[in-house]
Amino acid sequence: MIKRSLFIYLLLPLGVSAQIDLGKYGSISGSFESNNQLYVKDAVTNAVFPQDRIGSNNYLKADYRFQKISMGIQYEAYLPSLQGYPFVLNDAKLVQKYLSYQDTKFGLTVGNFYEQFGSGLVFRSWENRQLGINNAMEGINLRISPTNNLDLKFVYGKQRKNFDKSDGTLRAVDANYQIIKSAEINSEKSLSAGVSFVSRYQQYTGPDPNFKPTVNAFSSRVNYSDNNSTFSAEYVIKSKDEHLANQQNTNTGKALLINYGYSKNNAGFNLNLRRLENMDFRTDRSADQSQLLINYIPALTKQQGYYLSNIYVYNAQTLGEIGGQADLYYNLPKNTKLGGRYGMSIALNYSRYHALQITSQTPTSFESKFFGAGKQLYYNDINLSIKKKHSAKFTSSYLLQHIYYNKSVVESGNYENIKSTIVVVDILYKYFAKKAIRTELQHLFTKQDKGNWMGILMEWSYAPHFSVFASDMYNYGDAGKQVHYYNAGGSYTTGPHKLLLSYGRQRAGLVCVGGVCRLLPAATGLNFSLTSNF
């Protein structure tokens, strides 16, 4: 079965890539992504050696577009899936298909689709292959703009669950009214208000006659923007929704999100405040981890790109948290004493999250002060990034970060709270027009958990095709086991196609996106990936 499916899936892109431009009959486009790993035994990292030493996740998406009509498919092959992904992903199937008509005032999609209301706090269907999340809807998606200022969206269907569908059904509607909308396309003045209603039904067959199988959520929002400032606020309320992932909590779900931004000349400021209470919302009461999420609740902290900054990452606590983050951006102008010939960019970020201030509690519910912060600190992060281009050839970047990480809350369990300081120096030397060497030196200081880490990365690139790298993360502070997580590899890129080959060790840890985390297991082996767009 798998071999036959593999054959079909591999032939499909060959066929469509040959007839991409159909002239007046439309066009075919698509993408292909393949991530593969050949696992090797490694006693040092305690990596669990899989039954099959090959893991292979593959995704083919193809779309046909003719004027306002489009149709497409997504074919996925897990032969079998990479470690850390759901073990049921062990097959190759055509999992998504759609037919769509889109105009500026009207859009209708039947089949699989992704949609989002507002910021996603009440509803978002999305895909993240790195996390193994794909909660695409299967059903009907209707978009109508009856006037220039009013946009309506309707959604009806079930969510995707691996190769299957959710047990529960989702019905949702969203209305957005543009109160101020300038005729200028790139005008920076805008005021809009929106409301959303999301309803989930899942049949209940238990003994409780008062149990409500339908959960309703209502959201209202406002967005304002002018030449220098932005403001947005969204409030969501969700009816009683006991389920596995929220530990059968019966509290009414509530979420408040406020954003404010101001920018002028070379400076920018941004502030986000958020309070969450019992906001885990799914299409199935028995779903947990990253399965069947209806809404999108990301951690509002700064997303860093360096290895050691991603060891202690926060995950939003949907059962209850209050906090926020602030960002300050400043660019020292070019041709000034400090800015030099090319200027210098500075970014300061601060985020802090607490438990709610609980006033009374039962095993399945709690009372709390709406604007009160509990004593328990979940996460605190202050970080400063500086980037300076010294000359046409030489650019340096720096990161200084201090984190407080409540590991017991974020990762569940009983751990010591962690305080860590991270320092990164990143130097780019572009010694010819297309040739460059980049070096990262990183250090993480902590007295808790596994102690200190140091990291180094060397990368050589020859634009636009070649890049090779070697890196090591050395956990020398771990008294029990001092492990080198080394990696080396290279990539070849031509246009929208990229091949990557590497060999090394992968650290066990959390990968978090959108309030959802997946524990990535330790692994050692050869990695091969291909991404292609046609």
Partner 1 sequence: MKLPSIAFLHLLMFIISAKSFSQSGLPVLPIKNISGNSVPFSSAIDTNAVTVISFWSTWCVPCINELDALQESIDEGKMKSFKLIAISTDEARTIQKVMPMVKSRGWTFDIYLDESNEIKRAFNATNIPFVIVIRKGKIVYQKTGFTPGDEDVLIGKVNQVNVSNNP
Binding to partner 1 (CB under 8 A): which residues in 12-41?
Answer: 13-14, 17-18, 20-21, 23, 26-27, 29-34, 36, 38
Interacting residues with partner 1 between 380 and 419 (CB under 8 A): none
Q: How far is the CB of 531 from partner 1 (least distance, A)?
A: 5
Interacting residues with partner 1 between 428 and 447 (CB under 8 A): 428, 430, 432-436, 438
**Of 86-94, 120-128, 205-213, 415-423: span binding partner 1 (CB under 8 A):** 120-128
Q: How far is the CB of 31 from partner 1 (least distance, A)?
A: 4
Q: How far is the CB of 474 from partner 1 (least distance, A)?
A: 23
57-84 in b/e form (b: 16+ CB < 10 A) is bbbbbbbbbeeeebbbbbbbbbbbbbbb
Interacting residues with partner 1 between 300 and 339 (CB under 8 A): 300, 302-305, 327, 329-331
How many helices (DSSP H) and strands (DSSP E) are in the chain?
Answer: 2, 31
Phi-psi region of 465 (alpha: psi -120 to 50; beta: other; left: phi over 0): alpha
What is the distance between the alpha carbons of residues 382 and 340, in angstroms, rounded to a whole number?
27
Looking at beta carbons only, is 32 or 453 nearer to partner 1?
Answer: 32
Task: Outline where DSSP puts E strands in 390-496.
Answer: 394-405, 418-429, 435-446, 453-462, 466-474, 484-494
What is the distance between the alpha carbons of residues 127 and 33, in angstroms, rounded to a whole number?
14
Looking at beta carbons only, is 483 or 512 nearer to partner 1?
Answer: 512
Interacting residues with partner 1 between 460 and 519 (CB under 8 A): 461-464, 467, 491, 493-499, 514
Looking at beta carbons only, is 214 or 493 nearer to partner 1?
Answer: 493
Q: Which residues contact 486 (CB under 8 A, 6 or more apart)?
A: 470, 471, 472, 504, 505
> One-letter amino acid identity for 14?
L
What is the distance between the alpha carbons of residues 16 and 98, in angstroms, rounded to a whole number?
17
Interacting residues with partner 1 between 64 and 103 (CB under 8 A): 65-68, 70, 79, 102-103
Note whether 81 and 90 are within 8 A (CB).
yes
Examine residue 212 and tell whether it contacts partner 1 (CB under 8 A).
Answer: no
Examine residue 185 and tell whether it contacts partner 1 (CB under 8 A).
Answer: yes
Q: Which residues contact 74 (CB under 8 A, 6 or more apart)?
A: 59, 60, 61, 94, 95, 96, 97, 112
Q: How far is the CB of 143 from partner 1 (least distance, A)?
A: 9
Residues in contact with partner 1, counted by CB under 8 A, come to a total of 113
What is the distance between the alpha carbons of residues 528 and 262, in angstroms, rounded to a whole number?
44
What is the distance between the alpha carbons of residues 397 and 192, in angstroms, rounded to a whole number?
39
**Of 256-264, 283-291, 403-411, 412-420: span binding partner 1 (CB under 8 A):** 256-264
Q: How far is the CB of 287 from partner 1 (least distance, A)?
A: 21
Q: Which residues contact 29 (CB under 8 A, 6 or more apart)?
A: 20, 62, 63, 65, 533, 534
Examine residue 216 and tell whether it contacts partner 1 (CB under 8 A).
Answer: no
Examine residue 177 and tell whether it contacts partner 1 (CB under 8 A).
Answer: no
Nearest to 59 by CA among 87, 33, 95: 33
Looking at beta carbons only, is 7 or 204 nearer to partner 1?
Answer: 7
Examine residue 114 and tell whether it contacts partner 1 (CB under 8 A).
Answer: yes
Looking at beta carbons only, is 178 or 368 nearer to partner 1?
Answer: 178
Interacting residues with partner 1 between 225 and 254 (CB under 8 A): 225-226, 228, 230, 232
Note whether 513 and 133 are within 8 A (CB).
yes
Which position among 212, 264, 369, 390 is part of the footprint of partner 1 (CB under 8 A)?
Answer: 264
**Of 82-90, 155-163, 184-192, 442-450: span binding partner 1 (CB under 8 A):** 184-192
Under DSSP, the state recorded for 35 is E
Examine residue 126 and tell whether it contacts partner 1 (CB under 8 A).
Answer: yes
Examine residue 151 and tell whether it contacts partner 1 (CB under 8 A).
Answer: yes
